[in-house]
Amino acid sequence: MQILVLGGARLVGRHIVEALVAGGHEVTMLSRGQTQADLPAAVERLLGDRNDGVAGLSALAGRSWDACVDVSGYTPRQVRASAEFLKGRVGRYVFISTVSVYAEQNRHPILETDPLLPPAAEDVTEVTGETYGPLKVTCEAIVQEVYEDACTILRPQLVTGPHDYTPRYPYWPDRVARGGTILAAGKDDFIQVIDARDIGQFVVKVIQDDIGGLFNLSGPRLTWEEFLTLLDAVDVFWTTPEHLEQVGVNFYELPVYLPANSEQGGIMEVSNERARAAGLTLTAPLKTAQDTREWSKTTDLTYSLTPEREAEILTLLRGRH
């Protein structure tokens, strides 16, 4: 099949492109060319910028594809331009959204049928922590309006795996590898992430089997104690969000960590039942951790929780205890 990918050089898009090529499909990628990625040589790479509206899509003129995968649609202006321009030129429009669209992120579990945030206005173009979710709600609505049954909306949870440049999940396999006393909180709270490679494989499945609908994409769910045991962490100093607060530390300083009872605690309990029934397969958590660590060894990631800050917090906590 011939597939158009909008974006595709970074984490999620990269693994989608690689999965499509591995599946024997012909891939055309449209991007702004700002991220240089070592993608398969067979990928046709075109330049374009949807921020310029239809004019930014001129490289696609006169072409058609069996499906489009929109990885880089963040604003209504971008998505309206591509959705309408490609109408009649692509068989299925697959839009990569986010679990950040959900209005009540303290629900357990979070389901595809849960209420969404109020949509952002179509003229909003600034993507911030506050506008990200509402913008994606509006983008989803545009895709559904234009394509109706010929669209698929995918809502990934926290994504990781090789090429994860975000200073979040990779912190933990890297931190365990460094050794010494590891600061961690909430041993009975949960961590749940989705391997980007699993998203790639599911996108291939969606396109090949012409699957429509809405799907949360989330991975296996482990307690923090199970997760750090999996990583072979030997010396862990376990604390609680309450103890952190008592020494003037916000639990957000610990990458990825969300207490189950926090306002966003449901993000670590996102149901993947619907996607698994449609063919989502999940990489074992240990393999995700090992492969992410192997990649990050040669990458200079900068983490917000520095060794110095961790030592400072440990000293405060030990004094308190």
| Size of the chain, expressed as the number of residues it contains | 321
pLDDT at 36: 67
Could you list the residue range(s) of the whole structural domain that residue 25 is in?
A: 2-160+195-217
Whether residues 51 and 128 fall in one domain: yes
Partners of 194 in the beta sheet?
A: 159
**Number of domain units in the chain:** 2
Helix (H) or strand (E) run with residue 230 in it? helix 224-230
275 in any annotated domain: no
201 and 292 in one domain? no
What type of residue is 19?
A
Based on the fold, state whether residues 34 and 124 are members of the same structural domain: yes
Q: Does 63 fall in a domain?
A: yes
* 40 CB-near residues (< 8 Å, 6+ apart): 17, 18, 21, 27
**Sign of torsion, CA 47 50 51 56?**
positive
Q: Which amino acid is at 57?
A: L
- Tell me, yes or no, if the pTM score tops 0.75: yes
208 and 110 inside one domain: yes
Assigned token pair, 271 = 């149901």
Q: Do 201 and 306 fall into the same domain?
A: no
Verify that 52 and 127 share a domain, yes or no.
yes
* 278 located within any domain: no
Q: What is the pLDDT of residue 86?
A: 98
pLDDT for res 321: 60
Per-residue pLDDT of the chain (321 residues; tens, 9 = 90+): 999 999 978 899 999 999 999 999 999 999 987 766 788 889 999 999 999 999 999 999 999 999 999 999 999 999 999 999 999 999 999 999 999 999 999 999 999 999 999 999 999 999 999 999 999 999 999 999 999 999 999 999 999 999 999 989 999 999 999 999 999 999 999 999 999 999 999 999 999 999 999 999 999 999 999 999 999 999 999 999 999 999 999 999 999 999 999 999 999 999 999 999 999 999 999 999 999 999 999 998 999 999 999 999 999 999 876
Give the C-alpha separation, 48 to 304, whole Å: 34
